[in-house]
Chain A
């Protein structure tokens, strides 16, 4: 029943999914943290940019963002992110698109975490002479991250599944392989089930482990 699988690189495809997920997760965590810092900064221009970015980007379908990265950036503007073969160009563009999109959600998850930090924490930090940046990086964000672990886990799970959109620009990840297998084999249900189980194997531990971590690092007040 599973014989046909020998003709396909199932593990390889899921490995690409994992790579897309991890690189985009790191990138969007960094960019999302910067956006969150902007959204709580005392500088109106930065606050405005952060708010505008989040409200625009999170309301654009991911497919549109990824297709724009491929058609707009690569094919029209020849921005190829330092790669020259088709596969790595599209892989990098997909990561870029996923970062741009996911960062908006990371920003909001972190901002909800920042809101759980009592105002007094920042006031006490300012009162001992810490600068705005120090207040944020030494006192507010460490506590915000701890209470954002659970919402960030949701973002990570969504990101893992969103990597399937990269199939739209031909990145050889799990969903593209699924499409290819369905076209070639008469095993629609089985193929869908295999891919679905593969994603559950990736995301279920993410949720469980991060849920546990979230409880463990929670700040006691």
Chain B
């Protein structure tokens, strides 16, 4: 028994893609991340949930250093996050990010949004980049909108373009920072379906969301945060049917029964 579990641990250790160790961050007096320890294995889908202000978005943003941390270490694929500069830019290219407010480049067409990073960061050939961009836009179901500007698209379409833009960089891991929170209800599913497909394809994903349905169906693991701490980590089944902490029970009772 012991031998088996040791072997398992070894596999997990080499398979770790993202590792946060003892991460702390303050916004002024607010201790927004407190001693965060979290590892995400290759191919794993981790959903981070919790009440507003629990630090889950901040956690997500520290992983590609859009937020700096005060102490602790974050490693991606074994390499610690570098300081601001060329090295960091290279690392960010490997970490796809999808924002709550889409953040598509407003002065560029949908197609150019997906091409830009490939050409300017990956130094891809313009022609190849365009082919790949069109394929990705088709894959997320907005191929027909390629020549429009972001403002001409619905929120759900914009968010799917944003996913395509991130995928165009061939990221090792994708971060989703409340990707459906700014969407009208009828557009949430079209985005979640794309994310679910991505999860099935084996993409490593860290998803901050309030969509419990997505957490149940797509997550390998649920991380529950409150007041800057990770309070509970469990499989979706365990977490939703039998939460251990009072904080999680309280949270779930507020969102699940009405």
Contacts and interface: CB of A to CB of B under 8 A. Distances in A.
Interface string B82-102: 001010011111111101011
Interface in A6-51: 42
Contact of B151 (A42, A134, A146, A221): A221
A129 to B, nearest CB: 3
Interface stretch (A53-61, A82-90, A136-144, A200-208): A136-144
A121 B166 CA distance: 14
A139 B92 contact: no
Contacts of B95: 127
B107 to A, nearest CB: 5
Contacts of B96: 127
Interface in A86-122: 118, 120-121
A182 interface: no
Interface stretch (B45-53, B116-124, B189-197): B116-124
B105 A124 contact: yes
B64 interface: yes
Interface residues of B, number: 32
A220 B86 contact: no
A142 B105 CA distance: 10
B59 to A, nearest CB: 15
B104 interface: yes
Nearest to B149: A220
Main SS class of interface, A: helix
Nearest to A127: B97
B117 A120 contact: no
A130 B121 contact: yes
A42 B92 CA distance: 18
Nearest to B152: A220
Contacts of A126: 66, 89, 92
B149 A125 contact: no
Contacts of A134: 120-121
A131 B149 CA distance: 24
Contacts, number: 74
Nearest to B101: A120
B26 to A, nearest CB: 20
Q: Which of under 10, 10 to 19, 20 to 34, or 35 or more describes the interface residues of A?
A: 20 to 34
B106 A220 contact: yes
A134 B93 CA distance: 13
A124 to B, nearest CB: 4
Contacts of B56: none
A138 B120 contact: yes
Given A120-B101, A139-B105, A42 B117 contact: no
B172 interface: no
Interface string B174-195: 0000000000000000000000
Contacts of B66: 123, 126-127
B165 interface: yes
Interface of B: 64, 66, 84, 86, 89-97, 99, 101-107, 116-117, 120-121, 149, 151-152, 162, 165-166, 169
Interface of A: 42, 118, 120-121, 123-131, 134, 138-139, 142-143, 146, 219-221
Given A128-B166, A129-B169, A130-B120, 19 more contacts: A118-B101, A120-B102, A124-B165, A126-B66, A127-B92, A127-B97, A127-B99, A128-B116, A128-B121, A128-B165, A129-B91, A134-B121, A138-B116, A139-B107, A143-B106, A146-B107, A219-B107, A220-B106, A220-B152
